[in-house]
C-alpha cells in the first residue's frame, strides 16, 4: 500500500488555544496531564474511575474489563443501568424546566422540549411500544426524518431495552429492506414523510415497499404524522403514532439492563457487498459519549449545541440523541438542508438560536464556502465559541475559511477522528489545551492508545504513513457485527493477530506526533462524509439486467471529497450517442433506487471487459488512474487485456 500512503500534506500553521478559552475549559492542562498519566499507568483503572463518576448505575459494576474472550471485550459487565434513565430521569430534580431540544423544521417553525417534556414524551412512547409487544432485546427499525420524534423513539427503545437500528431517511427501500431483514426487526417506526429543502421525502411508502416481498418478522409499523400527506395504512400492521399512544401513561419504568446489553445496531458499509450491523453496548457506549461531549465539545450548562448530523449516522447518535442529553445540555435539531431556502440557513440558525458550539462535516463547509463570505457575514455569529468537524480529512483551505469567516479567529476548531465502530471521538483536540494544525485531528484522547503501524504491526517512525490502529480496548468500541462474530474478528482484528483494532484508515504522524488521516485502505469510499462500500455499489449495478460486471472507484471531488466512478461491462453491445446517455441515466437512477441517492455514480464508463491480471484480479489501481484522468504510467504488462483501457478512457 506504500504508493497510496505517501504523506500528502505539509501544513506549517499552528493555532494555540486562546487564553480565555483555556481558562474556562472543562479540561485544563493539569487535568490533561493527570489523566494521561493515570491512563498510561492503569488503563483499566482510568476507565473504571470515569465510569463510576459519569454514569448513574442501578447496580454498580465490580468487573471493569473482561478480556477473557478477546477480541470480544466486555466492559463493566456485571453493572446494570438504563441509558434513557441517564439521559432523562437523573436531570429532573435540577433541570426539569431546562430546554433539552430546540427543533427547527424545514419550513423554519421552531418547537422546543424541556427535559420534563422530553421525559414524558419518551415515557408515553415507550409504553406504546410495550403495548405493541416490544420486549427487551427486540429489534426496532427507526426510519424517520430528522425531527424530535426520532430521538424520542430512540430513547423510548433504550428505556425498555429494545435494540434500535436507525436507518438514514435518505436510504432507499431496498437498503431499508436489507437492514430490516438482517436485524430481524419486529417493529418499524417511521413517519408519513419528511421535508428537506421544500420537498417531501415519502418515508412510509418506502417502508411499504421494503416489506412488500415478505420474508421478514415485522409485526407492526408505527407512523408518525408529520407532513400530513396521504399514505396507505395496512389494517392489521400499521398504526399511527398518536393512536399507539392513546391512553398510555407518561411514565414508563426504565428497564435496567446489563452494561453489555446492546443499545443499538447501526449499519455501515464495509469492503464486501453486505452492510455490517455494528453492535454497540449500553454502559461502555454511554461513557465515551458523555466524556467526549464534555472534553472535546467543552459543553457547559449555558451552551446551545448544534451537531448538524442526521440521527441516521453515528454522529447523530453520540452527539445528538445520547451524549449531550446524558449531560443535561441543550441541543438544536434541524430537519432541512444547509442550502434551503438559501446558503445562509446554517448561519441564520446559529444566530436565531444563539448556537455556541457548532459541529458539521467538511463537505458542508466546502459547499457553503463556495457561496463566499458575504452570506455568513450577514449574521450575528458572536455567540459561537467552538467549532467542530467530522467525517473526512478537512482540507486546510476549508479549515481556514471555517476558522476565519465562521469562527472569526476566536473559536478553536476540533477536528474529530472516529468511526461508527469506535462509538465516540478517538483522536481529537482538547480545545483548551491542544494547539491546532489545519487538517490534522491532532492527538488521541486520554485513554485511547492510537498508533500508526507497518505491515508487521510495528510502530512507524513519525513522518511515514501506515495503518491506523488502536492498541488497547476502550469502553465504546463496537462489540461485534450483528449475527456475524467471525466478520467482526476478520474485519477489525485478524490483520495483527487480534492484538490491535484495525480502523481501515491510513495515517501518518508528524514530528509533534500529530495524526494526519490519509484515507481508507479498504474499498470504502467517503462521499460527502458518508461511507459507501465500492462492493455495495458494484452489487447494485450488477443487479441491473443489462450489466454483466462492474468496478467502482473514487476520484477526488472538490465538494464531496470523493466522487463515484463506475466501470461497467454490459451483457450486450455498448450503445452510442443518445442511447448511451440514456443508459448512463438509467444506471445512475438504478443505483439510487437500490441504495440511495448518495450512492449515484457521478461518472459511468463502458468497456468490453474490466482490466484484469492474468489471474483474474481487477486492477483497481489502473481504474483509479483512469478515473482521475491521469496518464497510465504504471506497468500494464500483467494486464490480460490492455486494449480495454482505451475504451474506458472515453467518456
Ligand atoms: C473518516 C463518522 C479524517 C475515516 C464519525 C473513518 C475522518 C470514517 C474523520 C468513519 C476526520 C471520520 N478526519 N477522516 N476527522 N472522521 N473520518 O463510520 O475514514 O461514518 O474511518 O463515522 O470517516 O466514517 P463513519
259 has a pLDDT exceeding 50: yes
Instruction: State which ligand 1 atom lies nearest to the alpha carbon of 517.
Output: 3
Question: Whole-number mean pLDDT of the chain?
Answer: 94
CA distance 426 to 460: 19
Q: Of 424, 449, 146, 158, which is closest to residue 278 (Cα–Cα)?
A: 424
Average pLDDT over residues 116-136: 98
Instruction: State which ligand 1 atom lies nearest to the alpha carbon of 416.
Output: 15
At 7 the pLDDT is 45
At 275 the pLDDT is 86
Model confidence, pTM: 0.92
Is 282 near ligand 1, meaning CB less than 6 Å away?
A: no
At 273 the pLDDT is 66
Is 266 near ligand 1, meaning CB less than 6 Å away?
A: no
Residues 6+ apart with CB under 8 A from 215: 181
524 has a pLDDT exceeding 90: no
1 has a pLDDT exceeding 50: no
At 639 the pLDDT is 72
Choose the residue to mutate in 419, 445, 520 for probing ligand 1, maximizing ligand atoms within 8 Å of C-beta.
419
132 has a pLDDT exceeding 50: yes
Is 275 near ligand 1, meaning CB less than 6 Å away?
A: no
Q: Give the sign of the dihedral formed by CA 438, CA 439, CA 443, CA 445.
A: positive
The tens digit of pLDDT for each residue in 408-456 reads 999 999 999 999 999 999 999 999 999 999 999 999 999 999 999 999 9
The tens digit of pLDDT for each residue in 18-73 reads 999 999 999 999 999 999 999 999 999 999 999 999 999 999 999 999 999 999 99
The tens digit of pLDDT for each residue in 463-484 reads 888 999 999 999 999 999 999 9
560 has a pLDDT exceeding 80: yes
The tens digit of pLDDT for each residue in 612-621 reads 877 677 888 8
178 has a pLDDT exceeding 50: yes
Is 267 near ligand 1, meaning CB less than 6 Å away?
A: no
CA of 391 to the centre of ligand 1 (A): 4
Residue entry with cell 483497481: 620
At 497 the pLDDT is 97
Residue entry with cell 411514565: 251
Other C-beta atoms closer than 10 Å to the C-beta of 559 total 16
At 10 the pLDDT is 55
At 632 the pLDDT is 77
Question: 124 by DSSP, 3-state: which?
Answer: helix
CA distance 591 to 568: 13
Choose the residue to mutate in 309, 360, 517 for probing ligand 1, maximizing ligand atoms within 8 Å of C-beta.
517
* Whether the Cβ atoms of residue 499 and residue 473 lie closer than 8 Å to each other: no
348 has a pLDDT exceeding 70: yes
- pLDDT band of 2, cuts 50, 70, 90: very low
At 619 the pLDDT is 83
At 223 the pLDDT is 98
- pLDDT band of 311, cuts 50, 70, 90: very high
Give the containing element (helix H, strand E) for 75.
strand 74-75
Is 517 near ligand 1, meaning CB less than 6 Å away?
A: yes
Query: For residues 441-466, b (16+ Cβ closer than 10 Å) or e, as one string?
Result: bbbbbbbbbbbbbeeebeebeeeebb
**C-alpha radius of gyration, the chain, whole number:** 24
8 has a pLDDT exceeding 50: no
Q: Of 60, 29, 223, 18, which is closest to residue 132 (Cα–Cα)?
A: 223
The tens digit of pLDDT for each residue in 263-286 reads 999 999 876 667 899 999 999 999
- pLDDT band of 82, cuts 50, 70, 90: very high
At 272 the pLDDT is 67
- pLDDT band of 597, cuts 50, 70, 90: very high
What is the share, in percent, of the chain residues with pLDDT greater than 70? 97
Amino acid at each position: 500500500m506504500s504508493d497510496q500512503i505517501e504523506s500528502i500534506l505539509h501544513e506549517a500553521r499552528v493555532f494555540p488555544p486562546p487564553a480565555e478559552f483555556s481558562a474556562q475549559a472543562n479540561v485544563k492542562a493539569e487535568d490533561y496531564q493527570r489523566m494521561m498519566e493515570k491512563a498510561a499507568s492503569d488503563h483499566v483503572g482510568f476507565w473504571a474511575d470515569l465510569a463510576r463518576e459519569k454514569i448513574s448505575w442501578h447496580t454498580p459494576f465490580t468487573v471493569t474489563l473482561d478480556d477473557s474472550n478477546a477480541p470480544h471485550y466486555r466492559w463493566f459487565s456485571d453493572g446494570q443501568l438504563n441509558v434513557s434513565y441517564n439521559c432523562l430521569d437523573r436531570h429532573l430534580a435540577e433541570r426539569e424546566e431546562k430546554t433539552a431540544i430546540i427543533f427547527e423544521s424545514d419550513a423554519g417553525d421552531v418547537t422546543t422540549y424541556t427535559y420534563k417534556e422530553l421525559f414524558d414524551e419518551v415515557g408515553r412512547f415507550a409504553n406504546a411500544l410495550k403495548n405493541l409487544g416490544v420486549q427487551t432485546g427486540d429489534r426496532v427499525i427507526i426510519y424517520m426524518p430528522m425531527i424530535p420524534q426520532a430521538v424520542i423513539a430512540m430513547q423510548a427503545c433504550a428505556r425498555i431495552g429494545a435494540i434500535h437500528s436507525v436507518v438514514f431517511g435518505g436510504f432507499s427501500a431496498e437498503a431499508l429492506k436489507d437492514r430490516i431483514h438482517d436485524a430481524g426487526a419486529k417493529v418499524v417506526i417511521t413517519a408519513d414523510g419528511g421535508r428537506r429543502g421544500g420537498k417531501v421525502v415519502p418515508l412510509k411508502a418506502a417502508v411499504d415497499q421494503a416489506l412488500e416481498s415478505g420474508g421478514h418478522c415485522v409485526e407492526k409499523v408505527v407512523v408518525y404524522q408529520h407532513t400530513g400527506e396521504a399514505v396507505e395504512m395496512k389494517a392489521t400492521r400499521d398504526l399511527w403514532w398518536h393512536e399507539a399512544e392513546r391512553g398510555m401513561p407518561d411514565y414508563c419504568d426504565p428497564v435496567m439492563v446489563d452494561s453489555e446489553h446492546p443499545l443499538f445496531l447501526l449499519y455501515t458499509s464495509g469492503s464486501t457487498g453486505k452492510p455490517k450491523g455494528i453492535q454497540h453496548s449500553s454502559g461502555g457506549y454511554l461513557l465515551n459519549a458523555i466524556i467526549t461531549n464534555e472534553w472535546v465539545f467543552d459543553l457547559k450548562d449555558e451552551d446551545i449545541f448544534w451537531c448538524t448530523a442526521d440521527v441516521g449516522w453515528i454522529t447523530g447518535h453520540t452527539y445528538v440523541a445520547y451524549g449531550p442529553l446524558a449531560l443535561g445540555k441543550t441541543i438544536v435539531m434541524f430537519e432541512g438542508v444547509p442550502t434551503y431556502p438559501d446558503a445562509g440557513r446554517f448561519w441564520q440558525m446559529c444566530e436565531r438560536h444563539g448556537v455556541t458550539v457548532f459541529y458539521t462535516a467538511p463537505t458542508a463547509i466546502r459547499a457553503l464556502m463556495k457561496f463566499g463570505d458575504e452570506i455568513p457575514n450577514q449574521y450575528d455569529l458572536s455567540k459561537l465559541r467552538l467549532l467542530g468537524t467530522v467525517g473526512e480529512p478537512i482540507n486546510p483551505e476549508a479549515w481556514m475559511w471555517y476558522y476565519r469567516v465562521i469562527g472569526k479567529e476566536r473559536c478553536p476548531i476540533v477536528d474529530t477522528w472516529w468511526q461508527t465502530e469506535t462509538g465516540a471521538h478517538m483522536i481529537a483536540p482538547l480545545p483548551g489545551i491542544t494547539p491546532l494544525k489545519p487538517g490534522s485531528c491532532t492527538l488521541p484522547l486520554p485513554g485511547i492508545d492510537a498508533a500508526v503501524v507497518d505491515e508487521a504491526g510495528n510502530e512507524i517512525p513519525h513522518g511515514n504513513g501506515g495503518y491506523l490502529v488502536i492498541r488497547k480496548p476502550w469502553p465504546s468500541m463496537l462489540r461485534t457485527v450483528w449475527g456475524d462474530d467471525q466478520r467482526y474478528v476478520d474485519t477489525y482484528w485478524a490483520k495483527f493477530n487480534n492484538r490491535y483494532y484495525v480502523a481501515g484508515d491510513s495515517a501518518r504522524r508528524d514530528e509533534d506526533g500529530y495524526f494526519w488521516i490519509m484515507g481508507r485502505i479498504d474499498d470504502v469510499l467517503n462521499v460527502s462524509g458518508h461511507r459507501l462500500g465500492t462492493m455495495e455499489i458494484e452489487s447494485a449495478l450488477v443487479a441491473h439486467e443489462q450489466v454483466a460486471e462492474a468496478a467502482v472507484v473514487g476520484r477526488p471531488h472538490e465538494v464531496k471529497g470523493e466522487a463515484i466512478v463506475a466501470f461497467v461491462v454490459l451483457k450486450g453491445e455498448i450503445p452510442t450517442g443518445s442511447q448511451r446517455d440514456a443508459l448512463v441515466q438509467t444506471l445512475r437512477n438504478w443505483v439510487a433506487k437500490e441504495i440511495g441517492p448518495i450512492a449515484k455514480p457521478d461518472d459511468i464508463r463502458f468497456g468490453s471487459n474490466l482490466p484484469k491480471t492474468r489471474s483474474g484480479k481487477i486492477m483497481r489501481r489502473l481504474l483509479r488512474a483512469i478515473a482521475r484522468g491521469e496518464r497510465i504510467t504504471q506497468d500494464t504488462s500483467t494486464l490480460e487485456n490492455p486494449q480495454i483501457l482505451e475504451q474506458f478512457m472515453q467518456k
